[in-house]
Structure 1
């Protein structure tokens, strides 16, 4: 008796419901991101190609169609090159899974995916805050009210900890141990990896006072930061908080905050300021939870402000005190 052929959609269902969470151990947020790629792909197939999802087969997705889909993402959905490449990576990851489980049906699909190159994006500088901008940003929330106190604590905590937005959302009271001069925190990062970090006294005291203010200091399962409608804050809520205060900052301080900023900009800022302060790269890597030191090395590109200060120091040291070697010798 011949084995029953498993459909494309059945493979996709097993991939999301069993393989990614159980075998790979990926977090729910990562799986949601992967699912979004295929949801958008099915939308493209139906609206542009007239192919309903129940008619999709591995042979449907040849390299030409995948290229059309990626171009459609950029032109019709205004996706960045980075997002376009992420969608391709999600499709490629599934093609490996499918080929390993149904070689006869999926090998051509896998080979077609391999023919599609990633697109090179124009290099952009990483947006980060200067020290003056950080100080200004911290002063914007009105901490005399509930929302302002939460927002100020969140901004200060993200700078002190260098955490990702999702890591802040996942933070519970039980993840934190307070000491007289610091706080030790277990951060649940990408791939369900946990790292232990410390934050200094000022940030620790602010965080503790906020948790005490919320009367949740003994509720270890409670999330530290909540929205007005949910016990656990979402990434989109953090994005709205940043958008709110950065827009306010740009209005009140037009000479500052000249770039586009996101919650991840604060993580860039923490890394940049640590490296500028002389913290060893390997320490920064472990603090941020990077898998590779190469990722951390991106932050070694120092800011223009730092470069200007170092050049000024060099000029002051070597030229201003003794400039006799620059005097006009009239050809002598």
Structure 2
């Protein structure tokens, strides 16, 4: 339960995210849940009359401490703090508060964990599994496209037929912040897409009346495929390939970046292809590549290890 002042502020904030910021549905859902959780925390400790203007920095600190006691991940806590900062910036602009209690707070420092990725042999094994049924043709082109372009799964399911230029081998995607970029697909992804468009999508589209006219990827009922649907199909193929668990569509994005850098691609080119605003976000893949090179060196060089005895 949240107070009236918080409810009014939140609804205005959501309209702001949808309209001016044009935030993604995932971001809006996450921010709404984060603000509602904080508002409930305030309601239970300050009473129903407490609104955003009654919150001070100490109360936000208590909220973060409470999340820590619940065992929440540091990444989750940082996201909630980011949501509060954005919420209070909006309220400041609207004149609803005089200051932001979250502006100067630093979130918990996250441990730097290298992203998971597959070897090229494992990727090849995964891509070879989908059958030649309509759904299998869809799934193969989907996995090939994720690996060939490094796009996010949300960008994949947002692709429309008009976004493809298979003759040139490119796709136009709409990324975070509604930033548009063009990504190359590669010959094998183009071939898989041609097969899907010729022998898979028409049959899936016929299962819906009227048929879906714009979306590239369709589900088994002929509607637009969802992020959850992609994850479920990938989990199916990961299990059939006998690969270790914990592989997600984002893992293929990591594979794309890591394999590109391992084969000599320029970091700024990879940054552009991934749609990263800051180069520092892309630089984690250089650490990943160096770790992999070190591992190969230790295994392959005859004098890399200490002799036993």
Q: Same fold (TM over 0.5)?
A: yes
| Runs of 5+ unmatched residues, structure 2 | 206-210, 305-309
For the pair shown, the structure with the greater C-alpha radius of gyration is 1
**Counterpart residue number, 1:178:** 166
Q: 1:122 aligned to 2:118? A: no
Q: 1:85 aligned to 2:78? A: yes
Of 97, 100, 107 in structure 1, the residue corresponding to residue 98 of structure 2 is 107
**1:189-208 alignment, distance < 5 Å:** 189-208=175-194
Q: 1:139 aligned to 2:131? A: no
Q: 1:210 aligned to 2:204? A: no
Q: Helix, strand or coil: the match of 2:64?
A: helix
Contact 1:9 1:56 in 2 (8 A): no
Of 208, 222, 228 in structure 1, the residue corresponding to residue 214 of structure 2 is 222
- Cα distance change of structure 1 residues 186 and 58 upon mapping to structure 2, 3 Å threshold: same
Of 275, 294, 301 in structure 2, the residue corresponding to residue 307 of structure 1 is 294
Aligned residues: 292
**1: CA distance between counterparts of 2:53 and 2:91?**
13
Scaled by the length of structure 1, the TM-score of the pair is 0.78
- Cα distance change of structure 1 residues 233 and 72 upon mapping to structure 2, 3 Å threshold: farther
- Cα distance change of structure 1 residues 40 and 147 upon mapping to structure 2, 3 Å threshold: farther
Q: 1:8-62 CA deviation, whole Å, 9 max, x = no partner?
A: 4333322211x2233333333322322221233344455x54855xx44124433
- Cα distance change of structure 1 residues 35 and 60 upon mapping to structure 2, 3 Å threshold: same
Contact 2:17 2:23 in 1 (8 A): yes
Scaled by the length of structure 2, the TM-score of the pair is 0.83
Farther-moved stretch of structure 1 (196-205 vs 231-240): 231-240
| Runs of 5+ unmatched residues, structure 1 | 1-5, 321-332
Q: Helix, strand or coil: the match of 2:110?
A: coil
**Counterpart residue number, 2:156:** 168
Contact 2:137 2:192 in 1 (8 A): no
**2: CA distance between counterparts of 1:232 and 1:225?**
6
**Counterpart residue number, 1:280:** 266
Of 263, 276, 289 in structure 2, the residue corresponding to residue 290 of structure 1 is 276
Q: 1:75-103 CA deviation, whole Å, 9 max, x = no partner?
A: 44x5321011011101011112212321x
Contact 1:172 1:220 in 2 (8 A): no
- Cα distance change of structure 1 residues 292 and 22 upon mapping to structure 2, 3 Å threshold: same
Farther-moved stretch of structure 1 (236-245 vs 130-139): 236-245
**Counterpart residue number, 2:89:** 96
Q: Helix, strand or coil: the match of 2:22?
A: coil
Farther-moved stretch of structure 1 (88-97 vs 296-305): 296-305
Q: 1:108-144 CA deviation, whole Å, 9 max, x = no partner?
A: 4x1x213532001222221011111111211333x13
- Cα distance change of structure 1 residues 266 and 74 upon mapping to structure 2, 3 Å threshold: farther
Q: Alignment RMSD, CA only?
A: 2.8
